[in-house]
Amino acid sequence: DTDVFSDAGTTPAVNDDTVQQWNDQSGAANHRTQGTSGSRPVFKTNILNSLPILRFDGSDDYLDGTWSSLVQPFTVAVVCKSDVAENAVPWGGATACFLYNFDADSGALNAGSDLVFDIVSTNWNIITTVVNGASSVVRVNGVEFTGNPGTNATGANLAVGRWSGGGFEFDGDIAALVIDNTALDEAGRIALEEELNDTWAVFAGGDPPVLSSPIATVTGTTTATVGVTTDTASGTLYVVVTTSAT
């Protein structure tokens, strides 16, 4: 990969090299770097769909750097696999905007409070997040979760592999990270996930599942909305129920 370097942007990394610099491919030069040799992730080849990834040790590996003009609303998508159930942060901003594994089967987007969503920590995931206060959206492998993770978040000091404020180090692999300084709509999020899956084949044989329009709504003390989603790789049909107070 010509955008991952074992030094400050001169020598492309090869298998098992530590990574000092991961280049921004947008042309804006928002590169992620790590000046301390012992805190660099490891470049591993032929891991996911025969493509390379960065491996973080869960102890002190991370890449850091400033990001120009990244304030809410913005969109971050990551292709990642966590090796542990808790305290795993694929990315995090210095002002408490971070995505992490909440426990063994759920994650959270935090910008002052938690937006909790379902996740299997040891699987490869495509996680797309729109950070926009009460209008925030997280899509995990095609399933959408909404809520309010708070508003005290920017990506001005966006780290990869931990929260920029320190701690919550990531133990696992990151294959791709995409950042957009706009709030992508549903069609945009789906298109981005399909593009990532075309490259990384998280869902072998098909695109991430997409939730159908609601097929039933039942109203009482709460409103339950039922939808259906299909994993196109396996043909598995899922029923998704969301509830809200009435």
Q: What is the pLDDT, as a whole number, of residue 156?
A: 65
Q: Which residues in the chain come in under a pLDDT of 70? A: 1-2, 68-69, 94-97, 153-156, 204-246
Distance linking the first and last C-alpha atoms of the chain: 52
Q: What is the pLDDT, as a whole number, of residue 96?
A: 61
Q: What is the pLDDT, as a whole number, of residue 155?
A: 59
Please state the φ and ψ torsions of residue 189, each to the nearest 5 degrees.
Answer: -65, -45
Dist CA 224 CA 228 (whole Å):
13
The sign of the dihedral angle between the CA atoms of 100, 207, 193, 52 is: positive
Buried b (16+ CB within 10 A) or exposed e, 179-214: bbbebbeeeebbebbbebbeebbbbeeebbbbbeee
Q: What is the pLDDT, as a whole number, of residue 89?
A: 83
Q: What is the secondary structure of 90-154 as a DSSP string?
A: SEEETTTEEEEEEETTEEEEESSSEEEEE--TTS-EEEEEEE-GGGEEEEETTEEEEE---S--B
